[in-house]
Structure 1
Amino acid sequence: MEKALSSLMTNITYYSTDSEIEETNTSGGGPETVIVPVLFGLIFFLGMVGNTLVLVVLGRLRPVGRPSRSATNIFILNLSIADFSFLLFCVPFQATIYSLPEWVFGAFFCKWVHYLAMTTMLVSIFTLVAMSVDRYIAVVHAKRSLCIRSKRNATMGVAAIWVLSLLFAIPVAQHQSLVSGHYQAPNSSFCWEQWAGNSTAKQIYKVTILIVGYLLPLMLITCCYAKVLYHLHKKVKNISRTSVRSKRKTAQTVLLVVAVFLISWLPHHIITMWVEFGRFPLNNFSFTFRIISHCLAYGNSCINPIIYAFLSENFRKACRQVFACKLLLQPAPKEKLVRIRMENFSTTHSTINA
């Protein structure tokens, strides 16, 4: 365990400092050197498969009567690219930190892996916000949604998301560096975040990421979906059983979306704030807590394809269209339906009997 604690000096939460290094246990690592990479490997595999399937389906999709790149599909495509990249830049490198006593990938990867990890994390989060706003406009302002929710506006929104994320992550690239020659480990190299003794600037940056990358997105996502639920509850006057079930399903999906985002990133930001404004201990409890925070953050990129794609009626139809999976995915019943363009907050149509 001590070996893992000493090597856990750099990760996606960027909370390690050179004063936190523990004496390296040269006698060998504990079971975590095997368990953690296996656990991360499972998350990595599931996330890659899920997001790759979404990319393949959307890439080959040619809907009948609808543009192949609707505003909704553009956001889902961007979310899958961001989640795919986040897993790619985080999980393999983070797994080695738990397994190896030092950083072995050199100075270039020390800087750019962490920069790209922060960038793709923010892109994923900002895209979730954009999708919630997109759902709000589609449902609450349906009459004006056709001109607002255009492919051009969606593409511009995605471009703005990437530009903002790249800019917000610049301090990571500036201050992440390869350090060697520490007095407790003179022959080892570590990838550390160094701010040249300017702790105030570092704290301001961490709080900014907390607000921009968690609190504000959580508030916007919650408000948008709350407005959607209120609109459906007050405006849709239909007492059929199908209508009630549809509203209930929509409410459950909303709660799932908010809860997943809240839980996935909360430990990450708790640790970050704890380190910056307190003294984060290096013990077995904190070690386990950090593993949990990593798993939840990575797990968010695995769950997103399920929530925003695989639970979607339209996406299941697209899978049938692309892969012709008629045995696994039964076609929807041919009833006369009035459809509310909920699109499962991405592509699902919530249905209500006429």
Structure 2
Amino acid sequence: MAFPTLNMSSRDPSNVSGTASGSETILSNSSEAVAGASILGLVFLLGVPGNVFIVWTILARARRRSITTLLILNLAFADGFLMLLTPFFMVYLFQRSWIFGLVLCKVLFYLCCANMYASIFLIMLMSLHRLVAIVCPKRVGALMDRRTVTQVLAGLWVLALGLSVPVLVFRTTKEVSREPQSLVCYCHHPQPQYEVMQYGMETLLGFLLPYGVIIGSYVCILRRIRKTRFRRRIRSEKLILVIIITFGLFWLPYHIINMVQVAAALHPEDSPAKENLKKIRMKLQALTSTVAFVSSCINPVLYTFAGKSFIRREGLAFMARLFEGTALETSRRIRHSNQNSRDREKETDEGESLNDKDSDSTTTTANANSVIKVVPPKNGK
């Protein structure tokens, strides 16, 4: 994962600062570094209290924890933990040098990358849960019970941590020629295929595939809603849809730059196209990384707007009531769908029963008519 602090990739350790090719990074300009640190400070002030509040209100104030609430809890935990790492990157920008050593260079960026994977996987699970709850309401209890969801969440976190291992392998520190004793924490790929593998995997598994599942789920949900009488959108669907759209808008620019980096790695050395792609990446990487980083502090703001009707009535528990309300609406939707199915089955059974009765009546009448015999009168009587 990239940050406003540098996600450089280089196979030439002497050029990690980008100055040899005439390009500048955010660390090369003191004013840009200060501006980046200020943005991170604002993100920290919004993200840490907001996500901690979400975790607290779900654990302490929520009377019932639905599957959606459990997924939001994990998402808030992941984002809140990421926000706690922000001061390290703020110091990196202010000092314009990595002063925390090689181990933290690897570990901090590894945790950031794991957060990226975990966030998109959690949002994908939210979409799949909505799909099962609406398209297959009779099976939602069997497929989405608490034990199954807990196991899926554990597997999700293991997968996110596993996919982030390349960051541990390729992240390193290097003294740059810009200033003595100035270090950068960057990705060093000995071969271009490693660079293609790392950033291609981030974009494919960390955005394209899960986001494709998300979009496909909501297409199926909308098609299902159009076929039913119950077309009113419930609050949880609106909230999750806003989270999905916001996440996509914040992360799409970052993954576009990832693909620019992959394209640059695939071009031969000394190619004009390769140099142009590198310049585009160096100019836009800091901006797109900052936008992606902000996505981790925006969800509490979205929840606050979604739950504003609860604030006056519930006080600090307003967010818990919001999540409880989405759970109640979901259960009502499922019960309503089940009731409609039972009503349709009952109507079908009653219709078949009436048809059977009509058929039996017709058969009985026909049989009765068939056994009537006309006896001729005897002796004219």
The TM-score with structure 2 as length reference comes to 0.70
Distance 1:83 1:323, change over 3 A: same
Tell me which amino acid in the other structure corresponds to 2:186: W
**Relative to structure 2, which stretch is displaced further, 260-269 or 210-219?**
260-269
Distance 1:72 1:144, change over 3 A: same
Selected match of 1:198 from 191, 197, 200: 191
Give, in whole Å, the separation in 2 of the partners of 1:130 and 1:178: 36
> What whole-Å deviation, never above 9, does each CA across 1:283-313 have from its counterpart, x for those lacking one?
8x954x3343133212221223344x44556
Mapping 1:1-354, distance limit 5 Å = 14-17=7-10, 18=13, 19-21=15-17, 22=19, 30-63=30-63, 68-89=64-85, 91-180=86-175, 182-183=176-177, 185-195=179-189, 197-235=190-228, 237=229, 246-247=232-233, 256-278=242-264, 279=275, 280-281=277-278, 286-287=282-283, 289-307=284-302, 309-310=303-304, 323=316, 339-340=332-333
Distance 1:228 1:102, change over 3 A: same
Distance 1:271 1:100, change over 3 A: farther
Distance 1:152 1:10, change over 3 A: closer
Give, in whole Å, the separation in 1 of the partners of 2:62 and 2:235: 28
- The residue that corresponds to 1:3 in the other structure is none
Alpha-carbon shift at residue 30 of structure 1 (Å): 4.0
Give, in whole Å, the separation in 1 of the partners of 2:34 and 2:5: 20
- The residue that corresponds to 1:347 in the other structure is none
Output the aligned Cα RMSD.
Answer: 3.7
> What whole-Å deviation, never above 9, does each CA across 1:112-165 have from its counterpart, x for those lacking one?
001111112211111111111111111111111112111111111110111001
Tell me which amino acid in the other structure corresponds to 1:192: Y
Give, in whole Å, the separation in 1 of the partners of 2:317 and 2:260: 50
Give, in whole Å, the separation in 1 of the partners of 2:66 and 2:186: 42
Alpha-carbon shift at residue 31 of structure 1 (Å): 2.9
Tell me which amino acid in the other structure corresponds to 1:52: V
Maintained 8 Å contact 1:229/1:251:
no
Higher strand share: 1
Alpha-carbon shift at residue 282 of structure 1 (Å): 5.2
Q: Secondary structure at the match of 2:293?
A: helix
Give, in whole Å, the separation in 2 of the partners of 1:98 and 1:286: 16
Give, in whole Å, the separation in 2 of the partners of 1:184 and 1:35: 20
Tell me which amino acid in the other structure corresponds to 1:223: G
The TM-score with structure 1 as length reference comes to 0.74
> What whole-Å deviation, never above 9, does each CA across 1:327-350 have from its counterpart, x for those lacking one?
xx9xx9xxxx994269xxxxxxxx
Tell me which amino acid in the other structure corresponds to 1:82: A
Tell me which amino acid in the other structure corresponds to 1:188: S
Distance 1:318 1:78, change over 3 A: farther
Distance 1:115 1:123, change over 3 A: same
Larger Rg, first or second structure (1 or 2): 2
Identity %: 26
Give, in whole Å, the separation in 2 of the partners of 1:97 and 1:275: 23
Alpha-carbon shift at residue 14 of structure 1 (Å): 3.0
Distance 1:166 1:39, change over 3 A: same
Tell me which amino acid in the other structure corresponds to 1:269: H
Tell me which amino acid in the other structure corresponds to 1:266: L
Tell me which amino acid in the other structure corresponds to 2:44: F
Structure 1 portions without partners, runs of 5+: 1-8, 343-354
Distance 1:59 1:316, change over 3 A: farther
Give the total of aligned pairs.
Answer: 309
Maintained 8 Å contact 1:87/1:298:
no
Alpha-carbon shift at residue 99 of structure 1 (Å): 2.9
Q: Secondary structure at the match of 2:9?
A: coil
